[in-house]
Amino acid sequence: MKHVIVGTAGHIDHGKSALVLALTGTDPDRLEEEKRRGITIDLGFAHLDLGEDLRLGFVDVPGHERFVKNMLAGASGIDLVLLVVAADESIKPQTREHFDICKLLGVERGLVAITKSDLVDRELLDLVRLEIQEFVAGSFLDGAPVVAVSSRTGEGLDTLKTELRRLSLLIAAKPTELPFRLPIDRVFMMKGFGVVVTGTLVAGRIETEAEVEIYPIARRARVRGIEVHNQAAGVAVAGQRTALNLAGVDAAALGRGMVLGPAGLFAATDRVDVVLQLVPAAKPLKHRARVHFHCGTSESVAEVALLEGKELRPGGRAYAQLRVAEKGLLLPGDRFIVRQFSPVTTIGGGLILDIQPPRHRLADPAVSAFLAALEQGGPEERLQLLVEQAGEASPAALASRTGWQPAEVERIAKVLEGRNRVMIPGPTSGVVASASYFAALAERVVTELEAFHKASPLVAGLAREDLRGRVATRDGGESRLASPTLFNAVLQRLVVENKLEVQGETVRRVGREVRLSSEEQSAKEQICQAFERAGLAVPAAREILQALPIDRARAEKILHLLLREKTLLKVSEDLIFHHSALERLRALVAQRKAASNRLDVAAFKETTGLSRKYAIPLLEYLDRERVTRREGDVRIIL
Ligand SMILES: Nc1nc2c(ncn2[C@@H]2O[C@H](COP(=O)(O)OP(=O)(O)O)[C@@H](O)[C@H]2O)c(=O)[nH]1
Ligand SMILES: [Mg+2]
């Protein structure tokens, strides 16, 4: 069965709620106050089956100008608008405002009902019809059906239903393959059930027992039960009016504007890059103006940073960054509305392009070009742009930035890899890098190594981690360090291209191995052996060197070389050990663990036969190496 959400729109007292009641048999004004005052204050809901295969969910909105914010919460999920104009009043302020909102939200289909047809004669009805046609000219409702109805006499209701059915069948299904998202429009407690939240499922599908996250409060809950249009269901899919019974969370913690989504997949944000459109009737909007910001069912205050000039003209559009006062789950592709701070009127709206934007320089043409490319590009171009901007990112991070499933990110990344636009170091590496960043890194590795070899000819090469630090780039104020995974992939590529060699932790340019003279070679062996013989009870390095028949400058250089190679290891300022001695130490500690995993200084001295002078630095070394962990006076052998 196809589900379509129909939203009412129009001025107060034009007969929206009465029409929903006449069509569905359900009075959408459910609050006691609404019944008493005879006006709609908050959203109302009803549904109507038109044939076996089509169910319409009605969202009835308040027309009163004071409750436009409630109207906005309802309008965000609709597929089809039912614009209501009373025959005896024709077009009024909230007819215009609601219609503007529908246009700004990108509603694509709808129809107009001229209500209260029983109150006017033919002539007036024809006049109102003409006014409406002029009013919607050039908009998405241009040429849409305009049906005269009376909720009192029932006139025109059948025609209206026929048109509703015809239009509904034209509506494309909402995307069920995206991660699910349910903007909450109501929260209440139900006797015997507990917490219930309702909303229009705008994307994806959700099943009972699913674990959900409530954004932005980062709470998790379990879906105990699902109702779709008041009927129990095992699953709800995008486009359906959905009620979820949640376990594991208090009603008091929840509210309209929060969003249910997959646990851990998304990140709430308070800074978004957008394309912003002002309505022609708005005043010019200044850079850094404060506005009311409405997206999904949420509302907050936001500051508008215009990215293309100091002012946005009425009817104009520009890229902007919105800094929202409260975090919310916003995703690229979401439509939003902005209302003037005071007096509150709808002045514009737009489309969210980037939910994790970097800080921009003002009036930077590169920023506008980037946002234009994001706005116009398909999924592949968009992913490529984001990867290029980040240099590298994980599929999980890209999923949270795009709103796609991680598997979809990986699929598109593979397509881009096939076009040599991105690099994926390994199927399970969790890294996607842009091809240009990868190439730049490779180039910097070679240049840095060249410079290093030139400066230190006696050293075999650079330690991998050291080199990774040296090729970090500065991007504005931020330094960008390649992840170990990506960096190793760069090294591997350069090895394959025969540009460098990697030996253990040391990286060098091909043909740049240290060539020691025969005297240097023999000095190296003597020093090495002296340290090896000394074992753990090693004298101070300078004593060892002094005892050898090698001149001091050369000895120092070779000592340095041995440290670089990691044949010798510096444990403290005075103590240098041969690596074999430290390996023996690790073996001793491992043996000791069989008896007890606790080690104090006395036990260490006993196990190793070393004095306190060695025991303390060596224990600290073991802590650093995470062989042991200090807890007060004892060490735990890990
Ligand atoms: N005569 C007549 N009155 C209507 C009709 N539809 C609604 N009304 C009346 O108009 C008033 C406002 O209707 P309501 O549905 O609450 O308007 P809303 O504010 O747009 O939801 C109520 O007093 C209704 O009884 C109609 O078709 N004919
Ligand atoms: Mg009403």
- CA dist 317 to 3, 93, 268, 308, 572, Å? 34, 23, 26, 10, 64
Q: How far is 28 from 34, CA to CA, in rounded Å?
A: 10
CA 343 from centre of chain: 33
Q: Are the C-beta atoms of residues 154 and 147 closer than 8 Å to each other?
A: no
Residue 150, ligand 1, Cβ within 6 A? yes
Ligand 2 centroid vs 34 CA: distance in angstroms?
A: 9
For ligand 1, what atom is nearest to the CA of residue 20? 15
* Ligand lying closest to the C-alpha of residue 152: 1
Q: Whose CA is nearest to atom 25 of ligand 1?
A: 18
519's tokens: 């005297």
pLDDT score of 504? 79
Give exposure, 581-597, as e/b (b: 16+ Cβ within 10 Å).
Answer: bbeebeeebeebbeeee
Count how many residues are written for the chain: 638
- pTM above threshold 0.95: no
Q: Are the C-beta atoms of residues 227 and 235 closer than 8 Å to each other?
A: no
Residue 506, ligand 1, Cβ within 6 A? no
125's tokens: 């009805």
pLDDT score of 558? 87
Angle between helices 601-608 and 612-624 (to 10 degrees): 100
Q: Are the C-beta atoms of residues 228 and 264 closer than 8 Å to each other?
A: no
Exposed (0-12), middle (13-18) or buried (19+): which is 149, by Cβ within 10 Å?
Answer: buried
CA quadruple 58, 64, 69, 72: dihedral positive or negative?
A: positive
Q: How far is 347 from 97, CA to CA, in rounded Å?
A: 9
Q: Are the C-beta atoms of residues 74 and 101 closer than 8 Å to each other?
A: no
579's tokens: 């690596």
Lookup result for tokens 């120092």: 556
Residue 15, ligand 1, Cβ within 6 A? yes
414's tokens: 């593979």
CA 189 from centre of chain: 31
- Give, for ligand 1, the residue of 34, 151, 157 to mutate: max count of ligand atoms closer than 8 Å to Cβ: 151
Exposed (0-12), middle (13-18) or buried (19+): which is 423, by Cβ within 10 Å?
Answer: buried
Residue 40, ligand 1, Cβ within 6 A? yes
Give exposure, 260-281, as e/b (b: 16+ Cβ within 10 Å).
Answer: bbbbebbebbbbbbbbbbbbee
Q: How far is 98 from 89, CA to CA, in rounded Å?
A: 16
Cα within 13 Å of Cα(292), Cβ side: 15
Q: How far is 391 from 413, CA to CA, in rounded Å?
A: 14
Q: Whose CA is nearest to atom 6 of ligand 1?
A: 15
Residue 151, ligand 1, Cβ within 6 A? yes
Q: How far is 168 from 79, CA to CA, in rounded Å?
A: 8
| All residues at 6 or more sequence positions from 592 whose CB lies less than 8 Å from its CB, including other chains | 599, 603, 607, 637
Q: Are the C-beta atoms of residues 18 and 71 closer than 8 Å to each other?
A: no
Which strands, in side-by-side order, build the sheet including 628-631? 598-599, 634-637, 628-631
* Ligand lying closest to the C-alpha of residue 40: 2
Q: Would strands 432-434 and 598-599 be described as parallel, antiparallel, or unpaired?
A: unpaired
Q: Which residues of the chain have pLDDT under 70?
A: 475-478, 513-514
The strand pairing partners of 462, in sequence order, are: 507
Q: How far is 274 from 286, CA to CA, in rounded Å?
A: 16
CA quadruple 590, 594, 599, 603: dihedral positive or negative?
A: negative
Q: How far is 118 from 467, CA to CA, in rounded Å?
A: 83
* Ligand lying closest to the C-alpha of residue 113: 1
Lookup result for tokens 């949420």: 298
- Give, for ligand 1, the residue of 40, 61, 115 to mutate: max count of ligand atoms closer than 8 Å to Cβ: 115
- CA dist 458 to 420, 530, 562, Å? 39, 21, 10
Largest CA distance in the chain: 120
Residue 16, ligand 1, Cβ within 6 A? yes
* Ligand lying closest to the C-alpha of residue 115: 1
Q: Which helix (H) or strand (E) holds 434?
A: strand 432-434
pLDDT score of 478? 66
The 10s digit of each residue's pLDDT in 586-609 is: 998 988 888 888 999 999 998 888
Q: Would strands 462-463 and 432-434 be described as parallel, antiparallel, or unpaired?
A: unpaired
Q: Are the C-beta atoms of residues 352 and 333 closer than 8 Å to each other?
A: yes
pLDDT score of 546? 86
pLDDT score of 476? 62
Which phi and psi (to 5°) does residue 297 adopt? -100, 10
- DSSP 3-state assignment of 405? coil
Termini Cα distance of the chain: 60
For residue 113, the 8-state DSSP code is E
pLDDT score of 174? 83
- DSSP 3-state assignment of 119? helix
pLDDT score of 272? 98
Q: Whose CA is nearest to atom 7 of ligand 1?
A: 15
| All residues at 6 or more sequence positions from 138 whose CB lies less than 8 Å from its CB, including other chains | none
| All residues at 6 or more sequence positions from 86 whose CB lies less than 8 Å from its CB, including other chains | 10, 11, 13, 14, 15, 114, 115, 116
Lookup result for tokens 């303390």: 616
Q: Are the C-beta atoms of residues 289 and 314 closer than 8 Å to each other?
A: no
